[in-house]
Amino acid sequence: MSVNVDMNLRPDYDQVIQDIADYVLDYQIESSEALDTARNCLMDTLGCGLLALRFPECTKHLGPIAEGTVVPNGARVPGTRFRLDPVKAAWDIGCIIRWLDYNDTWLAAEWGHPSDNLGGVLAVADYISQVSISKGYEPLTMREVLECMIMAHEIQGVIALENSFNRVGLCHVLLVRVASTAVVTMLMGGSREEIMAAVSQAWVDGSSLRTYRHAPNAGSRKSWAAGDATSRAVRLADMAMRGEMGVPGVLTARQWGFYDVCFSKTNADQQIKPADKREFSFPQSYGTYVMENVLFKISFPAEFHAQTAAEAAVILHPQVKDRLNDIDRIVIRTHDSAIRIISKEGALANAADRDHCLQYMTAVPLIFGSLVAEQYEDSFHVANPLIDELRDKMEVVEVQQYCDDYYNPSKRSIANAIQVFLKDGTSTKNVAVEYPIGHRRRRAEGIPLLEKKFKANLATRFPPARCTEIFELCKDQALLEATPVNEFMDMFVI
């Protein structure tokens, strides 16, 4: 009687893992555009984190697990007095960064927010710098933080170009964990073997489900999930630096690997059919492409697929503000990703539900001419029943050209168009916005507004003199790059 057995031949690390390790160790960042964009991304990301500190639902998650814990050389959480171990500091920074969903975005086959990786990068860089000083060594500089941001953006974004995790029900924060693990292990001084071991463990963790981002379960987990992912990356990096072994074939192992378990369709007996077999596809190697092309949320704290819808609604506001009760129907012309992610009908249960509702994010600026974070809160929603009345009058239509341009790598548009029809038979023009103001094609227009936004966010937490000091430093590329990380973080302590 013959028995089928697996040959226990330990493989080399999967090529995907080797490529990530080689990139973070060997790639030299020379793109001035990428470094300049990373500086703007740093400003916007930290500013959004400071703004989030105004919301108790966010701040209740912050601080040490055990109250009163004192951590020597602890990493700081911007806008607070917390000094935490790097794992919890990464969680807290990642949480405040993502809470309001108001900074950068990457849109491709998979979506996500590469700035989420700053949670792990900044926490580890601050901790390493303080420890180095305590031992008489030089601290890290902000140039190294910017380079880590560029690399984390690139890993997350390039994997996302042609690989849709949402299509198999997985959440994009998996890519935050993978990217953060790679750059943080490198930042800790990890060897190629240690980086590959850590990254392999990040893939072994699998992925959270996307269900908390979609009706009927949309909720606040989407606001802290990335903080959880980047903090897990710090933990895995630390374990690898302590000698923990990796899992070389984590992606490709037959039956038990990520591809077979999480990225392919299976039948009842768990055998993968050839037609259902899926592996990652990479249209390009790692460089600086993602940071150079990243999208900023400048005008609205709204899920990115609705940014142009909100802008179109603001344009239409003056024409309809005095005739809101005369509206018969509202047509939103959009692309397939917006429909799949944020188009929803029925009751909206919480702020997280509302900031992922295309119809809500269109109705509010039509009525008020603005869309700000406070307009997602329960009290605002209850006080303004007209919002839901307009939602009930909305029709969402998919436009094939918008879909094609969304996926076209030379365009990457995120188009929406709004048209309002009145009861007397008249209508507004069909107002279409193809590229949001945070798009690379609108950088010259967008950056001054991004800086204005950063100033406003600083002012929510710091006195005028400190705001000016931080802003002037962040505006000066050379000075910022030369600044020790610990001194930069000093400026953000209240």
- Is the pLDDT score of 5 beyond 60? no
Q: Using a pLDDT cut of 70, give the percent of the chain over it.
A: 96
Give the per-residue pLDDT at 269. Answer: 46
Burial class (CB in 10 A: 0-12, 13-18, 19+), 243: exposed
Lowest-confidence pick of 250-254, 406-410, 432-436: 406-410
pLDDT digits (tens, 9 = 90+) for 217-256: 989 999 999 999 999 999 999 999 999 999 999 999 999 9
Q: How far apart are CA 407 and CA 80, in angstroms?
A: 40
Lowest-confidence pick of 278-287, 384-393, 403-412: 403-412
Torsion of CA 400, 402, 408, 411, to 10 degrees: 160
pLDDT digits (tens, 9 = 90+) for 12-65: 999 999 999 999 999 999 999 999 999 999 999 999 999 999 999 999 999 999
pLDDT digits (tens, 9 = 90+) for 61-115: 999 999 999 899 999 999 999 999 999 999 999 999 999 988 899 988 998 999 9
Give the per-residue pLDDT at 264. Answer: 87
- Is the pLDDT score of 6 beyond 70? no
Give the per-residue pLDDT at 275. Answer: 53
Q: How far apart are CA 102 and CA 419, in angstroms?
A: 26
Lowest-confidence pick of 101-110, 119-128, 306-315: 101-110
Is the preceding omega at residue 216 within 30 degrees of 0, hence cis?
yes
Mean pLDDT, the chain, as a whole number?
94
Q: Using a pLDDT cut of 90, give the percent of the chain over it.
A: 89
Q: How far apart are CA 110 and CA 163, in angstroms?
A: 6
Please, where are the H alpha helices in 110-141? Answer: 118-134
Q: Which residues contact 363 (CB under 8 A, 6 or more apart)?
A: 313, 386, 387, 388, 390, 391, 394
Strand order through the sheet with 416-422 = 394-398, 327-334, 416-422, 431-433
301-333 burial, b at 16+ Cβ within 10 Å, e below that, comes to bbbbbbbbbbbbbbbbbeebeeeeeebeebbbb
pLDDT digits (tens, 9 = 90+) for 442-451: 999 999 999 9
- Is the pLDDT score of 346 beyond 50? yes
Confidence of residue 281 (pLDDT cuts 50, 70, 90): very high
- Is the pLDDT score of 215 beyond 90? no
Q: In degrees rounded to 5, what are phi and psi of residue 120?
A: -70, -45
Strand partners, 333: 397, 417
Mean pLDDT over 289-306 rounds to 93
- The pair of three-digit structure tokens given for residue 257, joined into one six-digit string: 């690997």
Give the per-residue pLDDT at 268. Answer: 42
pLDDT digits (tens, 9 = 90+) for 364-382: 999 999 999 999 999 999 9
Give the per-residue pLDDT at 278. Answer: 82
Q: How far apart are CA 277 and CA 292, in angstroms?
A: 33
Q: What is the pTM of this model?
A: 0.88
pLDDT digits (tens, 9 = 90+) for 36-46: 999 999 999 99
Confidence of residue 302 (pLDDT cuts 50, 70, 90): confident
Give the per-residue pLDDT at 467. Answer: 98
Give the per-residue pLDDT at 272. Answer: 54
